[in-house]
A and B are shown apart, each in its own frame.
Chain A
Amino acid sequence: DVKVTQSSRYLVKRTGEKVFLECVQDMDHENMFWYRQDPGLGLRLIYFSYDVKMKEKGDIPEGYSVSREKKERFSLILESASTNQTSMYLCASSLLVPSQPQHFGDGTRLSIL
């Protein structure tokens, strides 16, 4: 089975801090994605990557950046955390084929105080 592991289930940070969310997948998938999930809004794509060192903006990239130095690891960075970034963050991976499903981690619930 595909395993997507997010480094933290719960995280509490303060306004202005630089926050790193880490995601690792073990199935050699080319694509990796970061979403945020908010009630009533579904999943919104922040960034995705289809190869090492490659990244594409999603629908809501403002306030975020990403890093993909190795194929299996995709990091989401909040440069200066703000309270409106309190949310559930989900990482996913997939093969480089549009018909293949995405596989998700269990999520990180991030609170910015």
Chain B
Amino acid sequence: AQSVTQLDSQVPVFEEAPVELRCNYSSSVSVYLFWYVQYPNQGLQLLLKYLSGSTLVESINGFEAEFNKSQTSFHLRKPSVHISDTAEYFCAVSGGAQKLVFGQGTRLTINP
């Protein structure tokens, strides 16, 4: 069985500051890892995913995440955030089954 822990329920940062949203997982098998973003009053959208290969994956809007197998982590980072990044972010893991296991979510708040 897999599990996901997002270590921060809320992260407030100032605009143009860097941010890291932390995600740790546990699994006894090889995993696929995902970050989803949920803007207010919307469903979840895929932000980026790790399937295999390079451990650093990037999204089109400047986010990146690094798969660290030894630390079982998949932290999400952005070097400079914008007001429009205000959203809730979910880390998820798939261990080969059809289901995803989600973390509890991290609410990112950007202050001007």
Chain A interface residues (CB < 8 Å from chain B): 4, 31, 33, 40-43, 45, 48, 50, 58, 90, 92, 94, 96, 98-99, 101-107
**Closest approach, in angstroms, between the C-beta of B21 and any C-beta of chain A?**
14
CB distance from B20 to the nearest CB of A (A): 19
CA distance A41 to B98 in the complex (A): 21
Closest chain A CB from B1 CB (angstroms): 11
A90 with B98, Cβ < 8 A, contacts A42-B90, A98-B32, A99-B32 known: no
**Residue from A90, A104, A105, A106 whose CB has the most chain B CB atoms within 10 Å:** A104
Residues of B within 8 A of A94 (CB): 98
Chain B interface, number of residues (Cβ within 8 angstroms) = 25
Using known A-B contacts A4-B43, A90-B44, A101-B34, determine if residue A43 contacts B99 with beta carbons closer than 8 Å: no
- Cα-based distance from A48 to B98 in the complex (angstroms): 9
A108 to chain B, nearest CB (A): 10
B100 touches A42 (CB 8 A): no
Nearest CB on A from B55, distance (A): 16
Residues on B close to A: CB < 8 A? 6, 9, 32, 34, 36, 41-46, 49, 51, 90, 94-100, 102-105
When the two chains form their complex, are residues A40 and B104 in contact, meaning their CB atoms are under 8 A apart? yes
Residues in chain B near residue A107, CB distance under 8 A: 42-43
**Contact pick for A96, options B90, B95, B98, B100, CB 8 Å:** B98
Complex: A102 Cα to B46 Cα, angstroms:
8
Question: B90 contacts which of A43, A99, A105 (Cβ < 8 Å)?
Answer: A43
CB distance from B100 to the nearest CB of A (A): 6
Complex Cα gap A4–B90 (Å): 19
Quick one: which of B36, B43, B45, B95 has the most chain A CB within 10 A? B43
Query: Considering only CB atoms, which chain A residue lies closest to B97 in the complex?
Result: A98
| B9 and A99 contact, CB distance less than 8 A | no
- Residues of chain B lying within 8 A (CB to CB) of residue A90: 43-44
